[in-house]
Amino acid sequence: MKKVFTIIAAISLSFGAFSQQILNGGFETWTNPNAPDDWGTFGNLTGSGAGGLIAPWFAIKDTSAGNHVEGLASLKLVTDTLPAFAGGTLLSSVACIGVLSLDASNAFHYSGLPYAKRPDTLYFSYKYAPATPGDTAIMEFYLQKNDTSIMGGLGYAIIKQLTNSGGQWVNVAIPLAQYYTSSESPDTVQMLFFSSTDTAAATFGSALWLDDIHFDLSVNPLGIAPIGEVRGVNTYPNPATNQINIAVGADEVGSRIQLYDMDGRIVYDGIISSTISSIDTRSLQSGVYSIRVNSIDHLTIYNGKIAVAK
């Protein structure tokens, strides 16, 4: 159930602007039980070539303990065979933001979704278990304006190989500023994940878990930039010297708070124990840090930025 936004009136706080986010980046919502909302997989394949090819075993909502990092579920992609496609060809499972379609010539198309911001950092978490040592999963990301990428990188996209994680979740933070090759704001975001490489190393049974995909987008160099639906959570002072104060509504007491450095390393991990609490920053180096609050209901994420200055 949606919570009511709580205004903490006793303290003078400065709110940042809302930033546009990856839809259903935590893979909590599956209106179609075969595919997560706002994502295309073989479970909700469309297009003229898709008749009879719906294959829900390629993409699974995984609610098992240890197989998600936030909320109650993750997306599991599994390399498998599609009996009706090219005589049972082995296929890497794919998930794309937006719609996945297949045309009459068996070519896949990825729609992307409308998006109009220039985010600073892309975050996501993954766990990868290749069926053979040579297999790797793949992530592709790019922003477009009028069907043309506004980012450089490897050819037309940011491409990252996701290798064996040894049974552990890996938190990825990709600063995006270096990839922008245009001053334009985008109109479309494209993001794709594949459970196997597209070479001969692709192996039946390779599995990729995905969770907590989101952006960080600064309002100003020292400003807080909340993402998601911010409800009664804030931090101050900004910049901080000896401590960061956290002010929350009473219904958010018990939420988990984490502090990350700019390399994506967790430097603080704790539970919010009261409506006004604090993090000791005396041992932290000067710099800008990201704050993440996982709501007590496991469904709402708050993110922001705060500077530490000594």
Query: How many distinct structural domains can be found in the chain?
Result: 2
The structure's pTM equals 0.66
Identify whether 33 is part of a domain.
no
Considering the domain architecture, whether residues 170 and 62 belong to the same structural domain is answered as yes
pLDDT digits (tens, 9 = 90+) for 244-296: 888 777 777 888 888 888 777 889 999 988 888 899 999 999 988 888 887 76
Number of H helices and E strands in the chain, helices first, is 0, 23
Considering the domain architecture, whether residues 10 and 77 belong to the same structural domain is answered as no
Considering the domain architecture, whether residues 201 and 118 belong to the same structural domain is answered as yes
Identify whether 34 is part of a domain.
no
> What pLDDT score does 88 carry?
65
- Specify the residue for token string 């295309």: 40
CB atoms within 10 A of CB 286: 11
Non-local CB neighbours of 275 within 8 Å, separated by 6+ positions: 8, 247, 248, 249, 250, 253
Give dist(CA 12, CA 17) in Å, integer: 16
The CATH number that applies at residue 295 is 2.60.40.3080
pLDDT digits (tens, 9 = 90+) for 29-83: 899 999 999 999 999 989 887 666 778 889 999 999 889 887 789 999 999 987 6
Asked if 191 and 158 touch (Cβ cutoff 8 Å), the reply is no
Asked if 13 and 232 touch (Cβ cutoff 8 Å), the reply is no
Give dist(CA 255, CA 233) in Å, integer: 10
pLDDT digits (tens, 9 = 90+) for 94-149: 999 999 998 888 888 999 999 988 888 888 999 999 999 989 999 999 999 998 99
Strand partners, 306: 289
Q: Give the burial class of 8: count Cβ atoms within 10 A of its Cβ; 0-12 exposed, 13-18 middle, 19 or more buried.
A: middle
Domain boundary (196, 216, 236) is at 216
Considering the domain architecture, whether residues 149 and 9 belong to the same structural domain is answered as no
> What pLDDT score does 207 carry?
97
Q: Rounded mean pLDDT of the chain? A: 80
User: Where would I find the H helices in the chain?
Assistant: none
Greatest distance between any 2 Cα atoms in the chain: 67
Considering the domain architecture, whether residues 85 and 160 belong to the same structural domain is answered as yes
Considering the domain architecture, whether residues 169 and 229 belong to the same structural domain is answered as no
Considering the domain architecture, whether residues 302 and 278 belong to the same structural domain is answered as yes
Domain boundary (216, 239, 256) is at 216
Asked if 108 and 101 touch (Cβ cutoff 8 Å), the reply is yes
Q: What is the mean pLDDT of residues 225-247?
A: 67
Asked if 140 and 148 touch (Cβ cutoff 8 Å), the reply is no
Considering the domain architecture, whether residues 188 and 108 belong to the same structural domain is answered as yes
SS3 270: strand
Percent with pLDDT over 90 in the chain: 36
| pLDDT tier at 16, thresholds 50, 70, 90 | very low
For residue 232 the two structure tokens come to 């009664």
Identify whether 26 is part of a domain.
no
- Write out the residue range of the structural domain in which residue 308 sits: 1-19+221-310
CB atoms within 10 A of CB 287: 12
CB atoms within 10 A of CB 221: 8
Residue type at position 116: A
Give dist(CA 162, CA 208) in Å, integer: 9
